[in-house]
Amino acid sequence: MTAVLSRGRSDAPVRSVPGRPAPRRRPTVAPTWFLLPALVVYALVVLYPSLAGSVLAFTDRSGFDPGEWVGLANFEKLLRDDAARAALTNTVAVAVVITVVQTTLGLLLALALNSAIRARNLMRTLFFAPMMLSPIIVGLLWQYIYTPGGPLDSTLEGLGLGFLTRSWLGSDGALWAIVASIIWHHVGIVMAIYLAGLQSIPPELTEAAQVDGAGAVRRFWYVTRPLLGQSTTIVIALTLTASFKLFDQMFVMTGGGPGVSTQTLSLVMYQQAFVYGEYGYGTAIALVLTMIVAAVVFVQLSITRRGEHQV
């Protein structure tokens, strides 16, 4: 009995002729070679400079002085540095607040603009538009808004809320004033990701739940929310990564002041390396920041992926 040998599709079963050894499936190697040029460029442009630069973290290089090998001295200095510890506290607090608030607002906007309200396309464009601006432009714009006697203070006084006016970027609340501008800048991309997730959910599922008597809250919690697991994983990973690396708005709007109230690890790293010329110490801060971001995102992905459901 002659077996039919599969031709064309590589995933079709391969049958052997009785009395003859079964033919071996040839591994598909060709597509892998197409990745090689990109991998080589990535290794030369990203991996090698990163690994070579990380060596500076174990030296006391300063300015044009190549420095000497000091081992873990820079990391010990980091643990004793009050400014660095304050910057780490600010960085963690900002990352947590931005992730929670931005994810919640983005989800609420997506749910509202996924409904059949009028002008929803215009509203989607308006909320996404700030993403088209660079962080520097956003920082300068909000610095003007927060100017004493500026647009924000004038609006509050016009509403009879003049008692709320203050030096927005010159007080202890400067950090949260900057956080508000960052959320305004990035909430549009979170909304867009959630909108894509909502539109991928078959309407039959929510209709079936509605027929069974589930209200809007129950439909969201038991049908929509689980199917948005992948979108939530992406949103939280992107937001956490960007929040830990915040630099532009802090640098433009306050430069880390007043005092160290708006310092972040990225800003301290920049100051140590490019202002004071302490390249070894600055690289050590960058290395610690990289490990923190990698660890946080790894844990976050491990947790959020457990709750993902396929549509």
Q: Which CATH number belongs to the domain containing residue 94 in this structure? A: 1.10.3720.10
CA 256 distance to own-chain centroid: 21
Range of the domain at 255: 78-307
155 assigned to some structural domain: yes
Residue 166 in any domain: the answer is yes
Q: Confirm whether 281 is domain-assigned.
A: yes
Structure confidence at residue 176 (pLDDT): 94
Whether 44 is in a domain gets the answer: no
The structural domain count of the chain equals: 1
Residue in the block written with tokens 């996404």: 128
Confidence of residue 309 (pLDDT cuts 50, 70, 90): low
Q: Does some domain include residue 36? A: no
For the chain, the distance separating the N- and C-terminal CA atoms, rounded to the nearest angstrom, is 44
Average pLDDT of the chain, as a whole number: 87
Over 70: is that where the pLDDT of 43 sits?
A: yes
| Ramachandran assignment for 8, one of left (phi > 0), alpha (psi -120 to 50 degrees), beta (any other) | left
The whole-number pLDDT of residue 135 equals: 93
Question: Does a structural domain hold residue 129?
Answer: yes
Number of CB atoms found within 10 A of residue 184's CB: 16
Predicted pLDDT of residue 282: 92
Question: Is residue 194 one of the residues assigned to a domain?
Answer: yes
Q: Is residue 13 part of a domain?
A: no
pLDDT for the residue 187: 96
